[in-house]
Amino acid sequence: MYNPNMASQAGPQGPPPLNPQQGPFGNAFYGAGSEFIKTGLGAYGEKFLGSSSEFMQSNISRYFSNPQYYFQVNDQYVRNKLRVVLFPFIHRGHWTRITEPVGGRLSYKPPIYDINAPDLYIPVMAFATYVILAGFSLGFIGKFSPEALNYQLTRGLLGWFVQVALLKSLLYSMGGGEAALLDIVAYGGYLFTGLSLGIVVSMFWSLSYYVLVPWLSICMGVFLVKTMQRVLLTEMRSHERHSSRQHYMLLFMGIAQIPLFLWLGSV
């Protein structure tokens, strides 16, 4: 939803890309260009995609990896991933993403094959669930109106953005800034799963929210810490591993989840 134009253009890309950073993204563009035209928005599609496609291809692929990669999910993956996100202590096994050498470069396996790979389906669905649940809880209080719902949507988007900014800044400060942006967006969006759960429970018993918030934020913190550790490990140089500064940053990231949860959860 944050990137609908992009995503709809990358629609018909089927099998996992050779390289998530470049190359097939251009194919997705051209392939999607014809599909875009078919849907009747052809005139605009031609204008925006056809003439400036090289420019967009070179610049966008620098910032966005192929979004199709993040939607290769199935039911089983979603269930397991939800369990990992909500109860990260239970996860037995390593947290590293499986890599496979494809076309001379190491790339990660898509989410179907790898439980540790980030996906965008869960964050987007969790965000939509959060908005609708916020609407319901507003209705129970009696303050529901469509404008209030739009306001909640904006708040949620802002919270997502804050989370992503926090993660990205932490990574930059520790030298791991080359991680893909959509990866960070995915990691940032997982917080909405815990948030939705908290809102559902708080609809039945309003005080339970304050009991759940520490639990949920700690869970999210642990999840993020473990994930970021892996990201940093892959990105950073060897002599900077296991520094205490790194540990303090990760701890800060985990603690910062609490105010974020409190702010977003108070509808």
Partner 1 sequence: MEARDERRSHGDLARLQPHFAPKQKPITNFFCYNLCWAETHNFSQVPSARNCNINETSILETILTIFSLFPHSRSQNSQVTIPRRPDQPSPDRQMSRDFNAPPVVFPSGGGATAANQRRPPSSAMAPQFQPPRPANSVSGASNPALPFMSFDMSAAAASTSTAPPPSLFSSSTIPTSSFEDEPPLLEELGINTRQIWRKTVSILNPIRVNSNLHEDGDLSGPFIFLMAFGLFQLLAGKFHFGIILGWVTVAAMFLYFVFNMLLGRNGNLDLYRCFSLVGYCMLPMVMFSAISLFVPRGGFVMFGLGLFFVLWSTRVCTRLLAEIASCGDEHRGLVAYACWLVFCLFSLLVIF
d(CA 95, CA 59): 31
Residue tagged 């496979």 (tokens): 100
d(CA 86, CA 175): 28
Among 18, 125, 222, 260, interactor with partner 1 by CB under 8 A:
125
* 90 sits near partner 1 (criterion: CB under 8 A): no
Nearest to 196 by CA among 134, 112, 122, 239: 134
Alpha helices in 64-105 (DSSP H): 75-86
* 129 sits near partner 1 (criterion: CB under 8 A): yes
Site for partner 1 in 155-194 (CB under 8 A): none
CA 235, 230, 156: angle at the middle one, nearest 5? 100
Instruction: Give the nearer residue to partner 1 in terms of CB position, either 151 or 230.
Output: 151
How many residues make contact with partner 1 (CB under 8 A)?
36
Instruction: Give the nearer residue to partner 1 in terms of CB position, either 32 or 164.
Output: 32
* 2 sits near partner 1 (criterion: CB under 8 A): no
Instruction: Give the nearer residue to partner 1 in terms of CB position, either 30 or 258.
Output: 30
* 30 sits near partner 1 (criterion: CB under 8 A): no
d(CA 53, CA 247): 43
In the complex, what is the shortest distance from the CB of residue 50 to partner 1, in angstroms, rounded to a whole number?
A: 19
Nearest to 29 by CA among 44, 14, 49, 48: 49
In the complex, what is the shortest distance from the CB of residue 40 to partner 1, in angstroms, rounded to a whole number?
A: 6
* 37 sits near partner 1 (criterion: CB under 8 A): no
Torsion 19-157-30-51 (CA) sign? negative
* 71 sits near partner 1 (criterion: CB under 8 A): yes
Among 60, 132, 157, 262, interactor with partner 1 by CB under 8 A:
132
* 39 sits near partner 1 (criterion: CB under 8 A): yes
131: tokens are 């908005």
d(CA 75, CA 255): 32
* 7 sits near partner 1 (criterion: CB under 8 A): yes
Query: Which one of the spans 10-18, 185-193, 199-207, 215-223 is the region binding partner 1 (CB under 8 A)?
Result: 10-18
Query: Which one of the spans 32-40, 88-96, 100-108, 206-214 is the region binding partner 1 (CB under 8 A)?
Result: 32-40
Asked if residue 171 lies in contact with residue 183, where contact means CB atoms within 8 angstroms, the answer is: no
Q: Would you mind telling me the total number of residues written for the chain in this entry?
A: 267
Buried b (16+ CB within 10 A) or exposed e, 49-82: beeeeeebbeebbeebbbbbbbebbeeebeeebe
Asked if residue 195 lies in contact with residue 264, where contact means CB atoms within 8 angstroms, the answer is: yes
* 139 sits near partner 1 (criterion: CB under 8 A): yes
Helical (H) or strand (E) element with 105: strand 105-108
In the complex, what is the shortest distance from the CB of residue 198 to partner 1, in angstroms, rounded to a whole number?
A: 18
* 78 sits near partner 1 (criterion: CB under 8 A): yes
Residues at the contact surface with partner 1, assessed by CB under 8 A: 1, 4, 7-8, 10-14, 35, 38-41, 67-68, 71-75, 78, 120-121, 124-125, 128-129, 132, 135-136, 138-139, 144, 146, 149
